[in-house]
Chains A and B, each alone.
Chain A
Amino acid sequence: MTTQTAEATQSAYNFAYLDEQTKRMIRRAILKGLAVPGYQVPFASREMPMPYGWGTGGVQVSAATLTPEDCFKVIDQGADDTTNAVSIRKFFERTAQVETTTHTAEATVIQTRHRIPEEPLREDQVLVYQVPIPEPLRFLEPSEVETRKMHALEEYGLMHVKLYEDIARHGAISTAYAYPVKVEGRYVMDPSPIPKFDNPKLEMAAIQLFGAGREQRIYALPPYTQVVSLDFEDHPFDPSKAEHPCDLCGAEDSYLDEVITDDAGSRMFVCSDTDYCLARRDAGHEGAQGARG
């Protein structure tokens, strides 16, 4: 592409793809979400140039949040280099010309799918989640009218029925991701499909915004909001992870992916947060199979 056509493309789009009216509408929903933590605010989700399920909600929230001075990072299951992350990063490089990075500490806006970065976030950062199904009660109560009423009246007994079923069937709460939480003692919220290992990190310094494009809902957690994972007295919440250190960087405190390496059942465990793993290896840490070539 020549410089001229590249400029023509850029000027054809408004900053960050969405038009200003749409961004205002989304910002109003975000502000309402921040004012009522955990409450699902309906918004007029737009058609985006990607299929539903690929992060249309997150992309719209990011588009409404980004300013030209921002530095943008996208992760997909913790990784910066997967298809989803690369294409969303490119999308905003092209339509917003914002600086992008893979380093958690450098980013001001981080869009994520299914993970919270290992490195603690700061007050000047915004974490944007892609949410497939925002309604935590959906699989128990199919009626939207009824679930809204349940939220309004704080009737959350049903959520514990789900956890009860887990224990009755598997002997422990087997919900491992999208583990329901209660926000500030009021709304029960689906934290998007992050592993339950990440649940304790939901109480953080950064602003957290959740966007569900297909379901047309935005919700939010202001900094330092109280977020409690639901559990039973005799079956307390357990943010478990694989009992293993990372095979590349040796970290014992990070969430791990299990990678099958051949047909004979060999496997290795690696940090799901690629930036965290890389930074540790750069700092000289090394795991069991971590020889860098």
Chain B
Amino acid sequence: MSGKVFAEFSQDFSKNLGGTPQPLLQVEGLSKFYGARRGCADVSFDLWPGEVMGIVGESGSGKTTLLNCLAGHLAPDTGRVLFDTRANGMQDTVTMSEPERRMLGRTDWAFVHQHASDGLRMNVSAGGNVGERLMAVGARNYGDIRERAIDWLGRVEIAAERIDDRPTAFSGGMRQRLQIARNLVTGPRLVFMDEPTGGLDVSVQARLLDLLRGLVREMGLSAIIVTHDLAVVRLLADRLMVMKDGQVVETGLTDQVLDDPQHGYTQLLVSSVLQV
């Protein structure tokens, strides 16, 4: 534990010293239009290794459009998305070839969908779901694949005996946890999450958030979390970006933005949450 704390510290330290200050993801002037309508416009930010960024905003504010542009599911109209690839350093994922982008999608990137059924193969067993990414990058030993699947099911608190059950037999919370296991099994460096707790009841949400926080810290993951739930970002995100009508209206450290909102919309957003 102390070794990890030290690693985090030295990482921060070198960041501050400017040793090798290289963001993991650099977004420059990203815009996406649906015809004349604006999806998101002129979004720029840097995401550093090990950093979790939250994107909040109301429905239709362009959060999901932005996330899909970043993850390569949508082609942005303008702007660049630079990712620090393992092999070739900073690469623009918008202009890179499709095979390269899809390769990133199953190795260094992970995408957690709001509805687990979008991110899972519902007619394939839990073990097969977790093993798919391993097999996609060339794993050909059944025993090894199964072992790693069991290991990952354990990490997301799914009993090993459920490995041969299909996700259709799982509850909503279990499906979401299975989706997370399936995404993290190849050790990605950047995770995109689209409303990961949407549609779950509060106690299940709390458990999922706990789990996510543990995994993010433990694996040193960078993550971009899109949500409208301020409690989620309060718990998980280091930094916050507030969007309205396709534009970023406020950015800053999570606590700073939530405790001292500057922009009128952010103030409205923060005050809309019922304090229990």
Contact = CB atoms under 8 A, between A and B. Distances in A.
B204 interface: no
Interface stretch (B10-18, B59-67, B130-138, B244-252): B130-138
A157 B127 contact: no
Per DSSP, chain A at the interface is: helix
Interface string A216-254: 000000000000000011110000000000000000000
Interface in A138-160: 140, 153, 155, 157-158, 160
Nearest to B98: A153
Nearest to A164: B128
Interface in B28-52: none
Interface size bracket, A side: 10 to 19
A167 B124 CA distance: 12
A157 B102 contact: no
A161 B99 contact: no
Contacts of B125: 165, 168-169
A157 B98 contact: no
Contact of A232 (B127, B140, B163, B164): B140
A218 to B, nearest CB: 26
Interface string B97-137: 01100100010000000000000010011011001110111
Contacts of B132: 157-158, 161
A158 B99 CA distance: 16
Given A153-B99, A235-B142, A161 B135 contact: yes
A192 to B, nearest CB: 24
Nearest to B137: A157
B230 interface: no
B140 A233 contact: yes
A161 B121 contact: yes
A160 B125 CA distance: 13
Contact of B124 (A153, A161, A235): A161
Given A164-B128, A165-B124, A165-B125, A157 B135 contact: yes
A153 B106 CA distance: 13
Contacts of A233: 140-142
Contacts of A232: 140-142
B101 to A, nearest CB: 10
Interface of B: 98-99, 102, 106, 121, 124-125, 127-128, 131-133, 135-137, 140-143, 145-146, 163-164
Given A155-B136, A169-B164, A232-B141, 17 more contacts: A153-B99, A155-B102, A157-B132, A161-B131, A161-B132, A164-B127, A164-B131, A164-B142, A164-B145, A165-B124, A165-B128, A168-B128, A233-B140, A233-B141, A233-B142, A234-B142, A235-B142
